[in-house]
Structure 1
Amino acid sequence: MTDVHSAQRVGVLADSQNLYHTAQSLYSRNIDYSALLEEAVRDRSLVRAIAYVIRADSPEEESFFEALRDIGFETKIKDIKTFADGSKKADWDVGMSLDAVTLANHIDTMVLVTGDGDFARLCSHLRHAGVRVEAMGFANSTADELVNAADEFVDLSEREDRYLL
Structure 2
Amino acid sequence: MTEIHPDQRVAVLADSQNLYHSAQSVYSRNIDYSGLLEEAVNDRSLVRAIAYVIRADSPEEESFFEALRDIGFETKIKEIKTFADGSKKADWDLGMSLDAVSLASHVDTVVICTGDGDFARLCSHLRHEGVRVEAMGFGNSAADELIDAADDFVDLAEHEETFLL
* Fold similarity call, TM over 0.5: yes
Give the RMSD, CA atoms, in angstroms.
Answer: 0.8
Percent of aligned positions with the same letter in both sequences?
83
Q: Deviations over 1:77-119 (max 9, x none)?
A: 0000000000000000000000000000000000000000000
Structure 1 residues 4 and 78 mapped into 2: Cα distance closer, same or farther (>3 Å)? same
TM-score, normalised on structure 1?
0.98
Give the Cα–Cα distance (whole angstroms) in 1 for the partners of residues 104 and 163 of structure 2. Answer: 27
Deviation at 1:5, TM superposition (A): 4.1
Question: Number of matched residues?
Answer: 164
Structure 1 residues 4 and 156 mapped into 2: Cα distance closer, same or farther (>3 Å)? farther
Name 1:160's counterpart in structure 2: 160
Q: How does 1:19-58 map to 2 (within 5 A)?
A: 19-58=19-58
Deviation at 1:161, TM superposition (A): 1.3
Amino acid at match of 2:103: L
Q: How does 1:94-109 map to 2 (within 5 A)?
A: 94-109=94-109
- Secondary structure, counterpart of 1:141 in structure 2: coil
Contact 1:5 / 1:44 at 8 angstroms: preserved in 2? no
Q: Which runs of 5+ in 2 are unaligned?
A: none
- Secondary structure, counterpart of 1:65 in structure 2: helix
TM-score, normalised on structure 2?
0.98
Contact 1:115 / 1:146 at 8 angstroms: preserved in 2? yes
Name 1:59's counterpart in structure 2: 59
Deviation at 1:162, TM superposition (A): 1.2
- Secondary structure, counterpart of 1:30 in structure 2: coil
Deviation at 1:3, TM superposition (A): 2.9
Name 2:72's counterpart in structure 1: 72
Contact 1:127 / 1:133 at 8 angstroms: preserved in 2? yes
